[in-house]
A and B are shown apart, each in its own frame.
Chain A
Amino acid sequence: MLTFFLKRLLGLLPTLAIVAVLVFLFVHMLPGDPARLAAGQDADQQTVELVRAELGLDRSLPEQFGRYFLNMARGDVGVSIRTRRPVATEIGERFMPTLLLTLTSMAWAVAFGLVIGIVSAVYRNEWPDRLGMTLAVSGISFPAFALGMLLMQIFSVGLGWLPTVGAGSWKHYILPSLTLGAAVAAVMARFTRASFVEVLGEDFVRTARAKGLKERVVIAKHCLRNALIPVVTMMGLQFGFLLGGSIVVEAVFNWPGVGRLLVDSVNQRDYPVIQALVLMFSLEFILINLVVDLLYGLINPTIRYK
C-alpha cells in the first residue's frame, strides 16, 4: 500500500512539472509587457525598467525559470500587484472559506446523489425513478449562477430565512453550498443509478435473494459496495468541477474565497496571484485524484497495490 502510494506520488511529478512550466510561461504568453502592467499606465520608462529588475524580468528565460522554481520551493510565490501584499498571505486568508464551502457542497452532493441514485435504481422505471431522474437532468441543466440567484431571491429576499452574502455564520453556508452541490448531486445520482442497475443484475445478487435475505440487506450489503466503486472515481472527477464551480458561486454570493480572488485578479490582471492560484487549483485537483485512487482500494479489495 505504502509503496503504491509513493509510486503514485512520484508518477504525479511529470504532470505537476508540466503544469508548473505552463504556469511559468503564462506570464510570457501575455500580450504586452508585464513590467509595464505592474508599474502602471502612467509610469515613465525608468520606473518600468526598475520594476522589471525588481520582478527579475530582465534576466534570461532559463535563469528566470530557475529563480521561479527556487522561490516556489521556499514557498515564496511573489507579491500581488493589486494589493502589494505577499500572494501567499492573500491566498491564505481566502483558502479556508473556499475549502469549507467545497467540502459542504460535496457532502450535500454525495448524500443527495447517492440516495436519489439508489432509490431510482431500486424503483427502476417507476415514479420514484422518473422523479429522481427528472430532478437529476434538471440539476445538470441549471447553471449555478442562475440557481444561486434564484435561491437567494426565494430564501433570503422573499422569505428572509437566510442571509444573502458573506460567510459569517453556518447559515451563510447553506445557499452557496446547495448551489454549488446541485450539479454534482445530479451527476452523482445519474451515475449511481447506472452503476446500481448494473450490479442489481449480477449473479451474486440473485444468489443473495435466493438464499432468502431481506431486500434491504441485499441492497445495503451486497450491492452498495460493488456499485460504489465507479461512483468513488466519479466523485474525484467531480471535485475538480466543484473547484471550478466555486469560482462562479463565490461571485454570486460575494464569498470571501479563492474563487472570487481569482476572478478579481483576472479582471485586474494581477498576474502573480493568477499564477499562484492556477498552480494551487491544479495541485489540489491532482492530490484529490490520488486520494480517490487510495479510497478505491479500500472499497474494492480485489485491487492489489503493486
Chain B
Amino acid sequence: MSETALTATAAVASVPSGVRTPWSEFWRKFRRQHVAVLALAFVVVLVALAILAPWIAPYDAENFFDYDRINEGPSFAHWLGVDPLGRDILSRILLGGRISLATGFLSVAIGGLVGTVLGLLAGYYEGWWDRIVMRLSDVLFAFPGILLALGVVAILGSSLVNVVVAVSVFSVPAFARLVRGNTLVLKRATYVEAARSIGASDRTILLRHILPGTVSSIVVYFTMRLGTSIITAASLSFLGMGAQPPTPEWGAMLNDARADMVSSPHVAIFPSLAIFLTVLAFNLLGDGLRDALDPKLDRA
C-alpha cells in the first residue's frame, strides 16, 4: 500500500481532490484518531520550543543565579520555581528539551539508518551475510539496552556524545530485524519480480522498490523508538554517565534534585513531567501512525 509513500508528498499537490493517494489515505485514517492528532500537535510545539529555547528562555539556564529565591516554588518571576543553586527551572527545562530531543532523534536516526541498511542487505541477499548480521543482532539483543549503553560509556567515558553512540548501538538490531523481515516478504512480491525481469539492477530494486515498501513500518517504529531512546538517554544522565553538570539535561536535573527532594519537591517534579509528557506524546503519536499506516505491526 505504501510503495509510493515516499513520492506521495510531492504528488499530492497535483492530484485533484477526491482521488485516493497513499498520502491522503494515511491522512484520512490518521485524522480520525484525535489523541494522535493532539500528540502530533504537542510534538510540533515541543520541537518549536526546543529550536527557539535560547531566545525564549527567560533566564540563562546555566549561569544565572537568583540567590534571593533559592529553592522557591513557582512564582511570577520564575514560573516553575528555582533550583537549589538559584537557577530558573523553566529555562533549564526549555534548554534541556533541546538536548533530550536532539539526543533521542540523533540516536534513533543513526541506529535506524545502520539497521535499515543491514536489514535490507541481509534480507535481500540472505546467505552468510544474513547469518552474520542476524547472529550479531541476537547478541546485541541479549544485552538489555541500558546495560549495553553502560558498557559503551564505560569504554568511551561519560559524555552526551557517547550517550548518543550508546543508544544508537542498541537501536540497530531492532531496525535490522524489522527491515530484514519486510525485505524477505517484499523481494518475493510480483512487482519486484517484474522489475527484475525488465532488467533492473539489485541496487534499483532495493532502493526504489523494496525500501519504499518498508518505509511505513520504519516510520512507525522510529516514532515509538524515540520515546524509549529519550528515556534511556535521560536514565544514563540520571546515573551520572551522560550530560555532566551544569548542562540542563532532564535526567541530570532529576539527579541533582534528589538531595533536596524533601524540602523542594518542585525541583524534581517539573523535569519528571517534561520527560513524561514528551515520551507520552511520541508513544501516542507512534500508536496513531501505526494504526494509520501499518495495522499489522505488533501492538506492544
Contact = CB atoms under 8 A, between A and B. Distances in A.
Contacts of B235: 143-145, 248
Interface stretch (A71-79, A211-219, A238-246): A238-246
Interface stretch (A91-99, A146-154, A201-209): A146-154
B146 A245 contact: yes
Interface string B249-260: 001001001100
Contacts of B271: 146
A255 interface: no
Nearest to A274: B154
Interface string B142-156: 111111001101111
Interface stretch (A13-21, A49-57, A82-90): A13-21
Interface stretch (A1-9, A221-229, A259-267, A294-302): A259-267
Interface SS of B by simple majority: helix
B234 interface: yes
Nearest to A271: B154
B151 A247 contact: no
B234 A143 contact: yes
A140 B283 contact: yes
Contacts of A111: none
Given A144-B235, A251-B239, A281-B147, A19 B276 contact: no
Interface stretch (B101-109, B214-222, B261-269): B261-269
B147 A251 contact: no
Contacts of B265: 153
Contacts of A282: 142-143
B300 A234 contact: yes
B142 A244 contact: no
Interface string B207-249: 0000000000000000000010001001100111100000000
A70 interface: no
Contacts of B251: 143, 145
B165 to A, nearest CB: 13
Contacts of B80: none
A141 interface: yes
Contact of A143 (B147, B231, B262, B298): B231
Interface stretch (A60-68, A171-179, A188-196): A188-196
B138 interface: yes
B114 interface: no
A194 B143 CA distance: 26
B287 A137 contact: yes
A285 B146 CA distance: 14
B275 interface: yes
B135 interface: yes
A15 B139 contact: yes
A244 B155 contact: no
B251 to A, nearest CB: 7
Given A14-B135, A157-B261, A263 B280 contact: no
A56 B261 CA distance: 47
A272 to B, nearest CB: 12
Interface string A10-47: 00001100110010001001110000000000000000
A75 B271 CA distance: 44
Nearest to B280: A141
Contact of A191 (B136, B150, B238, B300): B300
A269 B283 contact: no
Q: Name, among B138, B151, B257, B300, the residue most crowded by chain A CB atoms within 10 Å (CB to CB).
A: B300
A216 B198 CA distance: 58
B150 A262 contact: yes
A194 B300 contact: yes
B279 interface: yes
A266 B251 CA distance: 18
Q: Name, among B154, B155, B157, B287, the residue most crowded by chain A CB atoms within 10 Å (CB to CB).
A: B154
Contacts of A190: 299-300
Nearest to A198: B299
B104 to A, nearest CB: 12
A238 to B, nearest CB: 9
A278 interface: yes
A145 B150 contact: no
A115 interface: no
Interface in B113-149: 135-136, 138-139, 142-147
A138 B238 contact: no
A207 to B, nearest CB: 26
B300 A187 contact: yes
A274 B148 CA distance: 12
A143 to B, nearest CB: 5
**Nearest 6 CB-CB pairings of A with B:** A244-B144, A194-B299, A146-B272, A141-B280, A141-B279, A244-B146
9 contacts: A137-B287, A146-B271, A149-B257, A150-B272, A153-B268, A191-B300, A240-B142, A262-B147, A269-B154
Given A140-B227, A146-B268, 10 more contacts: A14-B135, A22-B139, A29-B155, A141-B276, A142-B276, A143-B231, A153-B265, A194-B300, A248-B235, A278-B147
